[in-house]
Amino acid sequence: MSDAVIFDLDGVLMDSEQRWNAAKEALVRASGGRWRDEAPRVMMGMSSPEWSAYLHDDLQVPMEADDINRDVVRRMEDGYRRQLPLLPGADEAVRALGGRWPLGLASSSNREIIDLVLELAPFGGAFRVAVSSEEVARGKPAPDVYLEAARRLDVDPARCVAIEDSGNGLHAAAAAEMKVIAVPNPHYPPDDEARALADATVAGVGEVTPALVEKVSAL
């Protein structure tokens, strides 16, 4: 039996990966940088210091990394305040699982964005802890953000179930030795190697039920 469930945010609870990429691309083009088609996949799972450095070093944005970060976050906050892009079934899944287990959030989003989502979302109060990858040494695919979420929940990572959508996220959760439920991102689907790390795969977060978590935790 698991002691906790830890959700990713972008791509699992919110249809937001494309918004992040649009905000970054808009900044790159407006500042005279050079956007690359592979940039969205390269940046998946990166922490804010990591993607800010990537925009500066690789995409040639002529701004300091801190200024890049602030500009993208501002664009995201403005969009979220207009409309929070919750995925179908997200509210129901969080509430159902939160009725059985302590919940954590392990996200590559900035702390400001996580806090804003938890403020605006109907399920915000269900999470006992929320960790941004900017608060740990390494972003996904390293396990750091999942390990920190388990530490703050005071549970053994091996007794947690993680819910992830991306290749880097699946690698991160598996590296933390958690059971993993994959909700593959349709915009940026994980490759077969990453999908093979999952103990179960569902089409959408609404299919992540207490019964499924129990089944996965028993494997």
Catalytic residues: 8, 10
The DSSP result for 47-96, as a single string, is: -HHHHHHHHHHTS---S-HHHHHHHHHHHHHHHHHH---BPTTHHHHHHH
Burial 5-30 (b: 16+ CB within 10 A, else e): bbbbbbbbbbbbbebbbebbbebbee
- Return the number of other C-beta atoms located less than 10 Å from residue 127's C-beta: 20
For the chain, give me the number of helices (H) and strands (E)?
A: 10, 6
List Cα–Cα distances, 21 to 13, 15, 25, 41, 51, in angstroms.
17, 12, 6, 9, 11
**Whole-angstrom distance, CA of residue 26 vs CA of residue 212:** 40
Q: What token pair was written down for 79?
A: 């969009």
Burial 77-94 (b: 16+ CB within 10 A, else e): eebbeeebbbbebbbebb
Place of tokens 């699982």: 97
Cα–chain center distance at 33: 26
